[in-house]
Protein backbone atom coordinates (compact mmCIF):
# COMPACT_ATOMS: atom_id res chain seq x y z
CA UNK A 1 0.00 0.00 0.00
CA UNK A 2 2.86 2.30 0.84
CA UNK A 3 4.34 1.62 -2.54
CA UNK A 4 1.09 2.64 -4.23
CA UNK A 5 1.11 5.90 -2.29
CA UNK A 6 4.66 6.61 -3.36
CA UNK A 7 3.89 5.79 -6.98
CA UNK A 8 0.82 7.99 -6.81
CA UNK A 9 2.80 10.91 -5.34
CA UNK A 10 5.53 10.46 -7.88
CA UNK A 11 2.99 10.40 -10.71
CA UNK A 12 1.29 13.48 -9.25
CA UNK A 13 4.61 15.38 -9.02
CA UNK A 14 5.48 14.32 -12.54
CA UNK A 15 2.06 15.49 -13.81
CA UNK A 16 2.48 18.83 -12.02
CA UNK A 17 5.94 19.18 -13.54
CA UNK A 18 4.57 18.52 -17.05
CA UNK A 19 1.67 20.87 -16.41
CA UNK A 20 4.11 23.61 -15.42
CA UNK A 21 6.18 22.92 -18.56
CA UNK A 22 3.00 23.14 -20.67
CA UNK A 23 2.15 26.51 -19.10
CA UNK A 24 5.65 27.82 -19.79
CA UNK A 25 5.49 26.58 -23.39
CA UNK A 26 2.08 28.15 -23.84
CA UNK A 27 3.37 31.49 -22.51
CA UNK A 28 6.44 31.37 -24.74
CA UNK A 29 4.25 30.44 -27.71
CA UNK A 30 1.95 33.35 -26.94
CA UNK A 31 4.95 35.71 -26.66
CA UNK A 32 6.36 34.40 -29.95
CA UNK A 33 2.99 34.91 -31.64
CA UNK A 34 2.87 38.50 -30.36
CA UNK A 35 6.42 39.15 -31.58
CA UNK A 36 5.61 37.70 -35.02
CA UNK A 37 2.48 39.87 -35.25
CA UNK A 38 4.42 42.98 -34.19
CA UNK A 39 7.15 42.13 -36.70
CA UNK A 40 4.57 41.69 -39.49
CA UNK A 41 3.01 45.04 -38.67
CA UNK A 42 6.39 46.79 -38.63
CA UNK A 43 7.35 45.15 -41.95
CA UNK A 44 4.05 46.22 -43.51
CA UNK A 45 4.63 49.78 -42.32
CA UNK A 46 8.15 49.73 -43.75
CA UNK A 47 6.84 48.44 -47.08
CA UNK A 48 4.07 51.05 -47.19
CA UNK A 49 6.57 53.79 -46.36
CA UNK A 50 8.96 52.54 -49.06
CA UNK A 51 6.12 52.38 -51.60
CA UNK A 52 4.94 55.88 -50.74
CA UNK A 53 8.51 57.19 -51.06
CA UNK A 54 8.91 55.48 -54.43
CA UNK A 55 5.53 56.85 -55.54
CA UNK A 56 6.58 60.36 -54.48
CA UNK A 57 9.80 60.04 -56.48
CA UNK A 58 7.84 58.73 -59.47
CA UNK A 59 5.35 61.59 -59.25
CA UNK A 60 8.18 64.08 -59.02
CA UNK A 61 9.95 62.53 -61.99
CA UNK A 62 6.76 62.50 -64.06
CA UNK A 63 6.04 66.09 -63.10
CA UNK A 64 9.57 67.13 -64.13
CA UNK A 65 9.35 65.23 -67.41
CA UNK A 66 5.96 66.75 -68.18
CA UNK A 67 7.28 70.22 -67.39
CA UNK A 68 10.31 69.60 -69.61
CA UNK A 69 8.06 68.26 -72.38
CA UNK A 70 5.79 71.30 -72.16
CA UNK A 71 8.75 73.67 -72.19
CA UNK A 72 10.28 71.94 -75.20
CA UNK A 73 6.92 71.96 -77.00
CA UNK A 74 6.51 75.68 -76.28
CA UNK A 75 10.09 76.38 -77.35
CA UNK A 76 9.58 74.37 -80.53
CA UNK A 77 6.31 76.16 -81.24
CA UNK A 78 7.82 79.58 -80.59
CA UNK A 79 10.83 78.78 -82.76
CA UNK A 80 8.51 77.63 -85.55
CA UNK A 81 6.45 80.80 -85.15
CA UNK A 82 9.62 82.91 -85.18
CA UNK A 83 10.92 81.18 -88.32
CA UNK A 84 7.51 81.48 -89.98
CA UNK A 85 7.18 85.14 -88.95
CA UNK A 86 10.70 85.91 -90.17
CA UNK A 87 10.17 84.22 -93.52
CA UNK A 88 6.74 85.80 -94.01
CA UNK A 89 7.99 89.27 -93.02
CA UNK A 90 10.99 88.83 -95.35
CA UNK A 91 8.68 87.78 -98.19
CA UNK A 92 6.35 90.71 -97.47
CA UNK A 93 9.29 93.11 -97.46
CA UNK A 94 10.50 91.79 -100.81
CA UNK A 95 6.99 91.94 -102.24
CA UNK A 96 6.47 95.48 -100.98
CA UNK A 97 9.79 96.68 -102.30
CA UNK A 98 9.27 95.08 -105.70
CA UNK A 99 5.71 96.38 -106.02
CA UNK A 100 6.76 99.85 -104.89
CA UNK A 101 8.66 100.32 -108.13
CA UNK A 102 6.94 100.05 -111.50
CA UNK A 103 8.58 99.18 -114.78
CA UNK A 104 9.50 102.82 -115.44
CA UNK A 105 11.44 103.00 -112.19
CA UNK A 106 9.04 105.36 -110.43
CA UNK A 107 7.75 104.71 -106.95
CA UNK A 108 4.15 103.60 -106.61
CA UNK A 109 2.03 103.58 -103.48
CA UNK A 110 1.44 100.08 -102.28
CA UNK A 111 -1.78 98.77 -100.82
CA UNK A 112 -0.13 95.57 -99.54
CA UNK A 113 0.81 97.31 -96.29
CA UNK A 114 -2.33 95.94 -94.69
CA UNK A 115 -1.62 93.04 -92.33
CA UNK A 116 -2.84 89.65 -93.39
CA UNK A 117 -5.74 88.46 -91.28
CA UNK A 118 -4.74 85.81 -88.78
CA UNK A 119 -6.96 82.83 -88.13
CA UNK A 120 -9.27 83.47 -85.24
CA UNK A 121 -9.46 80.99 -82.42
CA UNK A 122 -13.01 79.76 -82.85
CA UNK A 123 -14.66 78.36 -79.75
CA UNK A 124 -15.21 74.70 -80.55
CA UNK A 125 -18.43 72.84 -79.89
CA UNK A 126 -18.98 69.46 -78.29
CA UNK A 127 -17.76 66.76 -80.68
CA UNK A 128 -15.23 68.95 -82.47
CA UNK A 129 -11.66 67.79 -82.90
CA UNK A 130 -8.99 70.09 -81.47
CA UNK A 131 -5.20 69.96 -81.28
CA UNK A 132 -3.54 70.14 -77.86
CA UNK A 133 0.00 71.47 -78.45
CA UNK A 134 1.20 70.68 -74.93
CA UNK A 135 0.48 66.99 -75.57
CA UNK A 136 1.14 67.02 -79.27
CA UNK A 137 -2.13 65.12 -79.80
CA UNK A 138 -5.60 65.61 -81.15
CA UNK A 139 -8.53 65.47 -78.76
CA UNK A 140 -12.32 65.43 -78.93
CA UNK A 141 -14.29 68.14 -77.14
CA UNK A 142 -16.52 66.78 -74.38
CA UNK A 143 -17.66 70.01 -72.71
CA UNK A 144 -17.20 73.72 -73.35
CA UNK A 145 -17.38 76.30 -70.57
CA UNK A 146 -16.96 79.52 -72.52
CA UNK A 147 -17.77 81.71 -69.51
CA UNK A 148 -14.80 80.25 -67.62
CA UNK A 149 -12.65 80.02 -70.73
CA UNK A 150 -12.23 76.28 -70.15
CA UNK A 151 -12.81 73.19 -72.20
CA UNK A 152 -12.98 69.48 -71.33
CA UNK A 153 -11.36 67.25 -73.93
CA UNK A 154 -10.49 63.59 -74.27
CA UNK A 155 -7.22 62.53 -75.87
CA UNK A 156 -6.95 58.73 -76.02
CA UNK A 157 -7.94 57.60 -72.53
CA UNK A 158 -7.09 60.93 -70.84
CA UNK A 159 -9.68 63.53 -70.00
CA UNK A 160 -8.21 67.00 -69.60
CA UNK A 161 -9.61 70.35 -68.51
CA UNK A 162 -7.75 73.05 -70.46
CA UNK A 163 -7.98 76.76 -71.08
CA UNK A 164 -9.36 77.76 -74.47
CA UNK A 165 -6.08 79.46 -75.40
CA UNK A 166 -4.24 76.13 -74.84
CA UNK A 167 -5.94 74.43 -77.79
CA UNK A 168 -6.19 74.91 -81.55
CA UNK A 169 -9.40 74.11 -83.40
CA UNK A 170 -8.74 71.66 -86.22
CA UNK A 171 -12.08 70.86 -87.78
CA UNK A 172 -15.69 71.09 -86.83
CA UNK A 173 -17.82 68.02 -86.48
CA UNK A 174 -20.10 67.24 -89.36
CA UNK A 175 -23.67 68.14 -88.57
CA UNK A 176 -26.20 65.62 -89.73
CA UNK A 177 -29.71 66.83 -90.29
What does the radius of gyration of the chain's CA atoms come to, in whole angstroms? 41
**Boundary-marking domain end, from 87, 112, 137:** 112
- 95 and 136 in a single domain? The answer is no
Three-class DSSP category at 145: strand
Contact yes or no for 121/133 (Cβ under 8 A): no
Whether 10 is in a domain gets the answer yes
pTM above 0.85, yes or no: no
- 86 and 13 in a single domain? The answer is yes
In the chain, the number of structural domains is 2
How many other C-beta atoms are found inside a 10 Å radius of the C-beta of residue 109? Answer: 7
What's the pLDDT tens digit per position in 115-151? 333 344 678 999 999 999 998 999 999 999 988 889 9
**Boundary-marking domain end, from 64, 84, 112:** 112
Contact yes or no for 152/160 (Cβ under 8 A): yes
Contact yes or no for 151/165 (Cβ under 8 A): no
- 104 and 138 in a single domain? The answer is no
- 65 and 17 in a single domain? The answer is yes
Torsion of CA 165, 166, 168, 174, to 10 degrees: -90
- 86 and 141 in a single domain? The answer is no
**What is the CATH number for 162?**
2.30.30
- 26 and 103 in a single domain? The answer is yes
What percent of the chain lies above the pLDDT cut of 70? Answer: 73
- 54 and 94 in a single domain? The answer is yes
What's the pLDDT tens digit per position in 48-77? 999 999 988 888 889 888 888 888 888 777
Question: By residue range, what is the domain housing residue 16?
Answer: 1-112
Determine the distance from the C-alpha atom of residue 175 to the mean position of all C-alpha atoms in its chain, rounded to a whole number. Answer: 34
Burial (CB count within 10 angstroms: exposed 0-12, middle 13-18, buried 19+), residue 94:
exposed
Amino acid sequence: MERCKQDFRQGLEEAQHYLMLCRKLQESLSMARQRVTAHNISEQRKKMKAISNIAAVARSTLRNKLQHFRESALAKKSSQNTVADNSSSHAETLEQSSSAYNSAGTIQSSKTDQPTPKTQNVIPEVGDTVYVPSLGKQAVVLKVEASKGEILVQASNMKLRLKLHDIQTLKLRTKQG
